[in-house]
Amino acid sequence: MPSFTSVLAAAAAFELATAAPWGPWGGHKGGPPGHGGPPPLPKSPYHEIGSNSTLLVELGPRPYYLVDNMDAGPLKDKLNSCKAQPKSTSSFSISHRGAPLEFPEHSKQGYNAAARMGAGIIECDVSFTSDRELVCRHSNCDLHYTTNILSKPELAAKCSSPFVPADPKNSSSMATAKCCTSDITLAEFKSLCAEMEATSLTATSIVQGTPYFGRIGTTPDYRTNMFSYSCAETMSLKDQIALVDSYGLNFTAEAKTPQVAMPFQGDYTQEDFAQQIVDTFNEAGISADRVWLQSFLPDDIFYWLKTSPAFGAQAVYLDERADLTATGYDEAVASLPGLAAKGVKIIAPSIWQLVAPDNATGTIVASSYAIAAKAAGLEIITWSFERSGPLENGGGYYYTGVNNLINNDGDEFYVIDVISRVVGATKIFADWAATVTYYANCFGLA
Ligand SMILES: *[C@@H]1O[C@H](CO)[C@@H](O)[C@H](O)[C@H]1NC(C)=O
Ligand SMILES: *[C@@H]1O[C@H](CO)[C@@H](O)[C@H](O)[C@H]1NC(C)=O
Ligand SMILES: *[C@@H]1O[C@H](CO)[C@@H](O)[C@H](O)[C@H]1NC(C)=O
Ligand SMILES: *[C@@H]1O[C@H](CO)[C@@H](O)[C@H](O)[C@H]1NC(C)=O
C-alpha cells in the first residue's frame, strides 16, 4: 500500500506536517529514523478516570491485530513501538453509539465497554418518547431493528406500522414494521432490550430467540450477538449522563431528526426538543464544556448558538449534504465559510468527504472539503471508524473515493492517520473505541 513518505509529502502540501506534536521517524525531535521520540507515558498503567477507580482502560486484542495486519512502513513501525505502552482515556476517541461493533448500540453494556476502551466522550443519540422523555436511540423510529419490541405483543401493538413478514418466495418482498420511540412511554421504552442493529429484512416471523431476538433482520457476520442474549439495557438520556459522569467522562448528544411530524402532539416543537436536551444536561449539573451537542439540522445548531452560547460553542454540525444530492458535496464545500461566519465552530462530515485519492502517488490526501473547512477556521470531527466491516475489498461507504487504495484491515490505521495528521481532525467517532484510543495514545493525543 501507499508509502508513508508520500503521505508526509501530502501533509507538507497541506501545511500541517509542521504542526505534528510528536517526533516522527527521522523527524525534528531527534532519535534515530524510524524510532522517533515517543509521547510521554501516562503516570500509571491503571489510569484512573474521575473518581471511579473501577475503570481500568484496556484496549483488548483488536488494535494489535490491526497493527499486525498493516503493510510494512514507518506508520506500522510507529504503531508497533507503542504496543507495550500503558493505555489511557483520550478525548480524541469518541464512542459512536456505545460499542456497536460487538454490543447492542446505545445500551448500558455498550457504553461501559466504550468507557473501558478509553473513549473520552460517549455518545447518546437523542429521541423522545410519547410522554416527552429523552432516550438514547440512533433513530426516532428504529425500535423494530434495534430492540426486541416486536416480541412484546402489547408494545408491538403500539408501533406506527405493524410487522409484516417477508415473503420467502419473493426476494424483493422485505419484512416491514415501523416502531418509534414516540409510540411508547419512557417506562415502556426502558422495558425493552437493546439488540444488534439489523441490516437485512428477511424475517418471516417474530420469535423470541435467534436469529431475530424479536426484531427484524439479522446481525451482519462481522458483528456478534454474543452480548445480546442477556438483556442489554436501554437508557434514557438522564441514565446515560449519570453513567458517563460516574466514569468522569464527557458527553456528546445528537438531536436525532424526528421522523414524526413536528410539532409532536400539536405543541412540542423542534426548538422545544433542542432545548430539552440542554435542560437535561443543566439539570444534571454538567457544564457545557463537557458536552458536544450534534445535529444534522443547521437550525438546531443556530438555535443553540443563540439561546445557549456555551453549548453552541461546542455544537457539531453533522454534514451529510454530499450524500443527499449529486451536487451536495460541492455545495457543502462552498457553504463552509458562510457557516463559520454564522458562528458554527465544529463541522463533522463522514470520513469519505475528508479524504481523496492521489492516483499519481497511490496515497490518500486531504479532500477539497477538508482543505476548505480548515481554511474557514472550522474544527473538524468525523464518523465513524469500525463501522464498515472487513476492508479487504475497499471498505464500502465510509471509504468512498479511496476504495481503490484500501485492501486490508490494517489500512484503517492508515486512514485514521491521514484524518488526524493530514486533515487535522481533532476527534474521531468509532464503533469500537479501542482502535482510535490506541492511535491517540501512541501519538500522545490527550
Ligand atoms: C472533559 O471536558 C473537560 C472540559 O472540556 C476537559 O477539561 C476534560 O479533560 C475532559 N475529560 C475527558 C476525559 O476527556
Ligand atoms: C414481490 O415483492 C415486491 C415488493 O413487495 C412486489 O412489488 C412484487 O409484486 C412481488 N412479486 C410477486 C411475484 O409477488
Ligand atoms: C463506577 O462505575 C461503575 C460501573 O458503571 C458503577 O457501578 C459505580 O457506581 C461507579 N462508582 C462511582 C464511585 O461512581
Ligand atoms: C483515481 O482512481 C480511481 C480508481 O481507478 C478512479 O475512480 C478515480 O476517478 C481516480 N481519481 C482521479 C482524480 O483521477
Tens of pLDDT along the chain (446 residues) come to 444 334 333 433 333 333 333 333 322 222 333 334 444 444 443 344 444 556 789 999 999 999 999 999 999 999 999 999 999 999 999 999 999 999 999 999 999 999 999 999 999 999 999 999 999 999 999 999 999 999 999 999 999 999 999 898 998 999 999 999 999 999 999 999 999 999 888 888 887 666 778 888 889 999 999 999 999 999 999 999 999 999 999 999 999 999 999 999 999 999 999 999 999 999 999 999 999 999 999 999 999 999 999 999 999 999 999 999 999 999 999 999 999 999 999 999 999 999 999 999 999 999 999 999 999 999 999 999 999 999 999 999 999 999 999 999 999 999 999 999 999 999 999 999 999 999 999 999 99
Q: What is the Cβ-side half-sphere exposure of residue 170, based on CA atoms within 13 angstroms?
A: 7
What pLDDT does 297 receive?
Answer: 98
Ligand 1 geometric centre to CA of 136 (Å): 22
- Cα–Cα distance, 240 to 3 (Å, whole number): 43
Ligand 4 geometric centre to CA of 403 (Å): 10
Q: Is the CB of 365 under 6 A from ligand 4?
A: no
Cβ partners under 8 Å of residue 152, min gap 6: 191, 192, 214
- Cα–Cα distance, 292 to 305 (Å, whole number): 12
What pLDDT does 203 receive?
Answer: 83
What pLDDT does 348 receive?
Answer: 98
- Cα–Cα distance, 291 to 241 (Å, whole number): 10
240: its cell numbers? 446515560
Pocket of ligand 2 (CB under 6 A): 170, 172-173
Ligand 3 geometric centre to CA of 62 (Å): 26
Would you give the distance in Å from CA 246 to the centre of its chain? 21
Indicate which residue's Cα is closest to atom 9 of ligand 4.
401
Indicate which residue's Cα is closest to atom 4 of ligand 4.
404
Q: Which of 290, 291, 293, 428 to mutate to test the pocket of ligand 1 (most atoms within 8 A of CB)?
A: 290
pTM over 0.85: yes
Ligand 1 geometric centre to CA of 31 (Å): 32
The closest of 318, 323, 398, 393 to 355, measured between CA atoms, is 398
What pLDDT does 209 receive?
Answer: 66
Ligand 1 geometric centre to CA of 290 (Å): 6
70: its cell numbers? 498493516
Ligand 2 geometric centre to CA of 166 (Å): 10
Ligand 3 geometric centre to CA of 244 (Å): 9
Q: Is the CB of 52 under 6 A from ligand 3?
A: yes
Ligand 1 geometric centre to CA of 248 (Å): 8
What pLDDT does 212 receive?
Answer: 78
Q: Which of 363, 404, 406, 407 to mutate to test the pocket of ligand 4 (most atoms within 8 A of CB)?
A: 404
What pLDDT does 100 receive?
Answer: 98
CATH 3.20.20.190 fits 61-140+231-443, yes or no: yes
Beta-strand pair 134-136/161-164: unpaired
Domain spans of the chain, in order of start: 61-140+231-443
Q: Is the CB of 248 under 6 A from ligand 3?
A: no
Indicate which residue's Cα is closest to atom 5 of ligand 3.
243
Q: Which atom of ligand 1 is nearest to the CA of 90?
A: 14
Indicate which residue's Cα is closest to atom 6 of ligand 3.
246
Q: Is the CB of 368 under 6 A from ligand 4?
A: no
Indicate which residue's Cα is closest to atom 14 of ligand 3.
246
> Residue 318 pairs with which residues in a beta bridge?
348
Torsion of CA 426, 2, 330, 20, to 10 degrees: 30
Q: Which atom of ligand 1 is nearest to the CA of 50?
A: 13
Which ligand is located closest to the Cα atom of residue 405? 4
Q: Which atom of ligand 3 is nearest to the CA of 246?
A: 14
Q: What is the Cβ-side half-sphere exposure of residue 126, based on CA atoms within 13 angstroms?
A: 28
